Amino acid sequence: MNEKWLKQQAEEISMALARSGIRWAMPVDDAVRGQKVFVTDSTNVAAYIDHTLLAPTASREQIGRLCQEALEYRFASVCVNPGHVRLAARLLAGSPVKTCTVIGFPLGATTTLSKVMEARDAVANGAQELDMVINVGALMERDYARVYSDIRAVRDAAPGLVLKVILETGYLSKEQIVQGCILVKMAGADFVKTCTGFGPGKAELEDITLMREVVGPDFGVKASGGIRDRKTAMAMIKAGANRIGASAGVAIVQGEEGKGDY
Examine residue 73 and state whether it is found in any structural domain, yes or no.
yes
Examine residue 38 and state whether it is found in any structural domain, yes or no.
no
Out of 131, 150, 190, 207, the active site residue is: 131
Examine residue 115 and state whether it is found in any structural domain, yes or no.
yes
Tell me the pLDDT tens digit for each residue of 93-148.
999 999 999 999 999 999 999 999 999 999 999 999 999 999 999 999 999 999 99
Compute the residue count for the chain: 262
Structural domain that includes position 140: 3-33+46-254
Q: What is the mean pLDDT of residues 32-55?
A: 76
Average pLDDT along the chain:
93
Distance CA 79, CA 259 (A): 17
Distance CA 87, CA 13 (A): 40
Examine residue 235 and state whether it is found in any structural domain, yes or no.
yes
Strands of 82-136 (E only): list them: 98-103, 129-133
Examine residue 261 and state whether it is found in any structural domain, yes or no.
no
Q: What is the mean pLDDT of residues 52-74?
A: 98
Distance CA 53, CA 114 (A): 22
Out of 98, 115, 193, 202, the active site residue is: 193
The predicted pLDDT at position 31 comes to 54
Identify residue 169 by its one-letter amino acid code.
T
Cβ atoms of 16 and 224 within 8 Å: the answer is no
Q: What is the CATH number of the domain that holds 207?
A: 3.20.20.70
Cβ atoms of 123 and 81 within 8 Å: the answer is no
Catalytic annotation on 36?
A: no
Tell me the pLDDT tens digit for each residue of 180-223.
999 999 999 999 999 999 999 899 999 999 999 999 999 999 99
State the DSSP code for 160: T
Examine residue 221 and state whether it is found in any structural domain, yes or no.
yes
The predicted pLDDT at position 173 comes to 97
| Whole-Å CA distances, 208 to 2, 48, 136, 232, 233 | 17, 15, 18, 12, 12
Instruction: Name the H helices within the chain.
Output: 3-19, 60-73, 85-92, 112-124, 136-140, 144-157, 174-186, 205-215, 230-239, 249-254
- Asked if pLDDT for residue 65 goes beyond 50, the answer is yes
Examine residue 177 and state whether it is found in any structural domain, yes or no.
yes
- Asked if pLDDT for residue 261 goes beyond 60, the answer is no
Out of 164, 185, 202, 222, the active site residue is: 222
Examine residue 162 and state whether it is found in any structural domain, yes or no.
yes
Query: pLDDT > 90: what percent of the chain?
Result: 87
Task: For Cα atoms 91, 95, 98, give the angle at the middle one, nearest 5 degrees.
Answer: 80
Catalytic annotation on 30?
A: no
Taking residue 112's Cβ as centre, other Cβ atoms within 10 Å add up to 17
pLDDT band of residue 34 (cuts 50, 70, 90) is very low
Tell me how many domains the chain contains.
1
Distance CA 58, CA 78 (A): 13
Identify residue 45 by its one-letter amino acid code.
V
pLDDT band of residue 43 (cuts 50, 70, 90) is confident
State the DSSP code for 193: E
> Nearest-CA neighbor of 54 among 79, 27, 87?
79
Q: What is the mean pLDDT of residues 52-70?
A: 98
